[in-house]
Structure formats: structure tokens, C-alpha cells
């Protein structure tokens, strides 16, 4: 009997420790998810540059998770800001894989479906080549050389 009571007490202590460790782990996962969302927001900032004009700065490797986050955030901002133009600044994107080009093409199509005119700027030669291989990748999107060209086009700003 004493032995069973000791085992029961030890088992209760182990269950409590497991529960505490699980709660701690769940809290850490929550913090990581919040940090991931913050990093995604900093990695691909969405700026309102003019009334009805948004600009998203794309930097680095456009992973599937990053493109999913960017697409959701950008489409939400387009709707709330009633943006009629969205400038996708690709200055920081050195190259694209086939799947990344397809993700970018889907983003362009989704922007058009919300009634916004997507404008891609600052494509690198490698990105341009990859997008050119996708026959309808940029259907309905304007492509310009620089962010300044895009701003001049959509808000009438002139370079000094």
C-alpha cells in the first residue's frame, strides 16, 4: 500500500511537470508565431504612398510562407485602403524559382480581381527572364524600371 501511494504521488508529480512544460512550450510557440508575423511585416512592408496608392517592397527569397503572408496582408490593405494602384518594388529580389514566379503571378491576378492596377518595378534581369517564361504571368500588370517611374505614372510626381 505504501509503495502504491509513493508511485501514485510520483506519477502525480510527473503529470504536473509535464503539464507545466506543455504550457510553457505552448506559450513559446505563441511568442514565436507573433515574432514571425512581426518579421513578415518588416520584411515586406506595405506603405501607403498616396491616397489610393500602396507600395509593397519585396526583399530576399520569396518563400511560399512569405508570399502567403504578403498576399493576405496586401489584399487586406488594398480592400481597406481602396487602393487603385499597387506598386510591387522588386529591387531586393535577385531571382525567382518557377514556383515563386507562379506565386507572384497569382498575387498580380488577385490584385486585379480586387480592382487594383498592379505595377512591378525594378525587376532584375534574372527575375524578368523567369517571369517572361511564364506566358501569362503578368497579364494586366504594368512593368516600369524604377519606383520613381511608378510614382510619376500614378500620382503625377515629377522628378526634380
In tens, the pLDDT along 46-101 reads 999 999 999 999 887 788 888 888 899 999 999 999 999 999 999 888 888 888 88
What is the model's pLDDT at position 51?
92
What is the model's pLDDT at position 82?
95
* Cell 524578368 belongs to residue: 128
pTM of the model: 0.73
Whether the pLDDT of residue 160 is over 60: the answer is no
What is the model's pLDDT at position 155?
80
pLDDT digits (tens, 9 = 90+) for 94-124: 888 888 888 888 899 999 999 999 999 999 8
What is the model's pLDDT at position 43?
65
Alpha carbon 64 to its chain's center: 9
Alpha carbon 117 to its chain's center: 18
Give the chain as a 3 state SS string: CHHHHHHHHHHHHHHHHHHHHHHHHHHHHHHHHHHHHHHHHHHCCEEEEECCEEEEEEECCCCHHHHHHHHHHHHHHHHHHCCCEEEEEEEECCCCCHHHHHHHHHHHHHHHHCCCEEEEECCCHHHHHHHHHCCCCCCCCEEECCHHHHHHHHHCCCCC
What is the model's pLDDT at position 137?
61
What is the model's pLDDT at position 63?
82
- Nearby residues of 111 by Cβ (< 8 Å), 6 or more positions away: 74, 75, 78, 86, 117, 118
Residue scoring higher pLDDT (97 or 21): 21
Amino acid at each position: 500500500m505504501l509503495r502504491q501511494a509513493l508511485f501514485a504521488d510520483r506519477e502525480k508529480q510527473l503529470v504536473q511537470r509535464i503539464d507545466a512544460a506543455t504550457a510553457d512550450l505552448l506559450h513559446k510557440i505563441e511568442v514565436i508565431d507573433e515574432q514571425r508575423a512581426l518579421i513578415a511585416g518588416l520584411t515586406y512592408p506595405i506603405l501607403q504612398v498616396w491616397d489610393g496608392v500602396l507600395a509593397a517592397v519585396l526583399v530576399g527569397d520569396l518563400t511560399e510562407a512569405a508570399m502567403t503572408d504578403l498576399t493576405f496582408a496586401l489584399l487586406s490593405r488594398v480592400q481597406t485602403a481602396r487602393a487603385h494602384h499597387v506598386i510591387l518594388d522588386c529591387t531586393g529580389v535577385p531571382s525567382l524559382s518557377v514556383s515563386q514566379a507562379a506565386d507572384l503571378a497569382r498575387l498580380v491576378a488577385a490584385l486585379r480581381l480586387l480592382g487594383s492596377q498592379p505595377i512591378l518595378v525594378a525587376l532584375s534581369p534574372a527575375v524578368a527572364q523567369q517571369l517572361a517564361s511564364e506566358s501569362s504571368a503578368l497579364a494586366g500588370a504594368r512593368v516600369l524600371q524604377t519606383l520613381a517611374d511608378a510614382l510619376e505614372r500614378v500620382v503625377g510626381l515629377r522628378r526634380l
